[in-house]
A = this chain, B = another copy of it.
């Protein structure tokens, strides 16, 4: 890249959401419209996920002004899974800065699945971007903390600040995933073999597995996303979590890579930076305006919540959120 923007402040220019009642109505409509959809299959790669009630369904919009609108099961908790990648990335950007994280973790789409090792080998061990597992592990490895325990507490504390409440570990999910995360251990070792992770790779995988097992609700996801939409200030608590620059960086990376090799489709259809998790959560962020958090466990073959995608697409359209 050939930019030269040091010292030039990024100005902000935004539109605004429709009024309170209109948003309230549309969130209700998004929930009602897809309530009876029963497509998709609940994730079963770990037994504990497969036991969830597939009928659970919550839709929530948090405005950057602090208003929160919900319909359905917006307070039911589930594990955040890959959605955590976006917020841990923001925390690491806050610590290390734009350029350093760009060089260490990257921002470009690999064109390959989330757990691929091909791109790692083709790029001399570079993890390529923070949303694929290689990059997410490399990002978690950069979390501040004098020990792995501290790193984990900082992950939890950081994501809790995004959510505006103390998030808890789902111990059953954590233990279950710890027993089946061989692929992540392989990826972490591979990064280590290229000198891209300098600490104990198994400890990094452990922190990462914990971060994926944090419990959130659709409400939490909406508030976490709205914090990114609001330039880094949690619109409910008023706490600054990260800088405005970090928010833009994080949203740009989500737009480019948040849905892995199908990120282009997501922009083409919905037009918002977003991230989904295999437990059924999705967060989509409308910069300056707010965020949509949804929860519904049944997934499409690509691993994204069926009702969640539909509700997000509906709200992106009706609320005028598509950034293009």
Contact among B111, B122, B193, B265 with A183 in the assembled complex (CB-CB below 8 Å)? B193
Of the stretches A60-68, A71-79, A309-317, the one at the interface is: A309-317
Residues on B with beta carbons closer than 8 Å to the beta carbon of A2: 39-40, 300, 304-306, 309-310
Q: Kindly state whether residue A11 has any CB partner on chain B within 8 Å.
A: yes
**Which B-chain residue is minimally distant from A257 (CB atoms)?**
B264
Taking a contact as CB atoms under 8 Å apart, the answer to whether B121 and A324 are in contact is no
CA distance A185 to B197 in the complex (A): 14
Q: Which segment of A148-156, A168-176, A267-275 sits at the interface? A: A267-275
The B-contacting residues of A in range 233-290, CB under 8 angstroms, are 247-249, 251-253, 255-257, 261-271, 273, 287-289
Contact string against B for A residues 131-155, beta-carbon threshold 8 Å, 1 for contact and 0 otherwise: 0000000000000000000000000
In the complex, what residues of B have CB within 8 A of residue A1's CB?
A: 262, 265-266, 269, 300, 309
A187-222, CB < 8 A from B: 187-190, 192-193, 201
The smallest C-beta distance from A88 to any residue of chain B, in angstroms, reads 17
Do A107 and B268 touch across chains, with their CB atoms under 8 A apart? yes
The docked-state distance in angstroms from the alpha carbon of A12 to that of B271 is 12
Confirm or deny: A9 has a beta carbon within 8 angstroms of a beta carbon on chain B: yes
CA distance A104 to B262 in the complex (A): 15
Judge whether A5 is part of the interface by a CB distance below 8 angstroms. yes
Do A262 and B122 have beta carbons less than 8 Å apart?
no
| A4-B34, A248-B324, A265-B1 given; A118·B129 CB < 8 A | no
Interface residues on A, range: 35 or more
Contacts of A160 in B (CB 8 A): none
Check: A19 CB closer than 8 A to any chain B CB: no
Q: Counting CB contacts under 8 A, is A179 at the interface?
A: no
CB of A208, distance to nearest CB on chain B (Å): 14
Complex contact B186–A309 (CB within 8 A): no
Best-surrounded residue of A108, A264, A271, A305 (most CB of chain B within 10 A): A264
Q: In the complex, which residue of chain B has the Cβ closest to the Cβ of A34?
A: B4
Known contacts A189-B189, A304-B2: does B107 contact A265 (CB below 8 Å)? yes
Bound CA span A242–B275, Å: 31
Kindly provide the distance from the CB of A262 to the nearest chain B CB, expressed in whole angstroms: 6
Flag whether A119 is at the interface (Cβ < 8 A): yes
Asked if A256 contacts B273 (CB within 8 A), the reply is no
Provide 7 A-B residue pairs closer than 8 Å at the C-beta atoms, listed in order of the A residue: A2-B40, A13-B319, A182-B192, A248-B322, A249-B268, A252-B271, A253-B264
5 cross-chain pairs, A with B, having the tightest CB-CB distances, nearest first: A111-B111, A11-B320, A186-B189, A256-B264, A13-B320
